Amino acid sequence: MDTQDPHPHLAHLLKQYARDLAQGAPSPDLDARIGRLVAGGRQTVAPAPLNRSPVVRYAAAAAFAGLAIGAGVLLGMRLEHTRATLATAQARAHDTFWPPADLAMWPSDSVSFKIPAEYSAQGTLVAVDPDSKHGSTRYWIDVVVSNDGTFRIEQVVPADPAQKKGGHDGAAPPIR
């Protein structure tokens, strides 16, 4: 771009104005203010902050990064530990409170008894009294006792085979 010389009159006025400006010197007040600035600055200016600041910044950043990584590792370990503990506790709870799959609803063992019985005078079925002389009708009571504490009567059949209506194949016990 072409920058022409200023108009001759303008150039003359500019030079004159520049000379006039050059005559001006800083006032004593400005000198004093700068002096106070210098005096105050002796106590306030920090020594070489630029030279130290990059090192300090890098050190601070590295320390912060290290802390962040450490905190992350610790947090991860705690989470992992918590998860393992929870899984163990759940497995234990499962073992404790839930029946294993091979347990059936019914008892696994039971035993049968045959109890001789007869009708009493009150009309109830009672165990046979060995000293009883009257010859009332005797019955066999098939009783099943299970290991889960249950007790049930399978059937009641007459002890006299002649009274048997069928189904019972056991021999009548000797009635004393």
Partner 1 sequence: MKLVSSDSECMARLAAGDANALRDLYQRHGRALLRFSSAMCRSRQAAEDMVHDTFEALMREPVTFDPAQGTVFGYLCGVLRHRVSRHFRQQKRWVALDLDSDTSPAHSNDAHTPADEIARSEITMAFRRAMLELPLQHREVIALCDLEELPYAAVAGILDCPVGTVRSRLHRARALLTIRLASLELIDLENEPALAQRGLS
Q: Could you say whether residue 125 binds partner 1 (CB under 8 A)?
A: no
DSSP string, 96-136: HHS--TT--SS-S-EEEEEEEEEE-TTS-EEEPPTT--S-P
Q: Could you say whether residue 58 binds partner 1 (CB under 8 A)?
A: no
Task: Name the minimum Å distance from CB 56 to partner 1.
Answer: 14
Q: Which stretch binds partner 1 (CB under 8 A): 8-16, 65-73, 98-106, 156-164?
A: 8-16
Task: Name the minimum Å distance from CB 47 to partner 1.
Answer: 4
Q: What share of the chain is helix, strand, coil (3-state, %, to 5)?
A: 50, 15, 35
Q: In what order do the strands lie in the sheet with 110-119?
A: 125-127, 110-119, 138-146, 151-158
Task: Name the minimum Å distance from CB 33 to partner 1.
Answer: 5
Tell me the site size for partner 1, rule CB under 8 A. Answer: 41
How far is the C-alpha of 96 from the C-alpha of 83, rounded, in Å?
Answer: 20
Neighbours of 5 (CB within 10 A): 7
Q: Which stretch binds partner 1 (CB under 8 A): 46-54, 86-94, 142-150, 164-172?
A: 46-54
Q: Could you say whether residue 61 binds partner 1 (CB under 8 A)?
A: no
Site residues (vs partner 1, CB under 8 A): 1-4, 6-7, 9-10, 13-14, 16-27, 29-30, 33-35, 37-42, 44-51
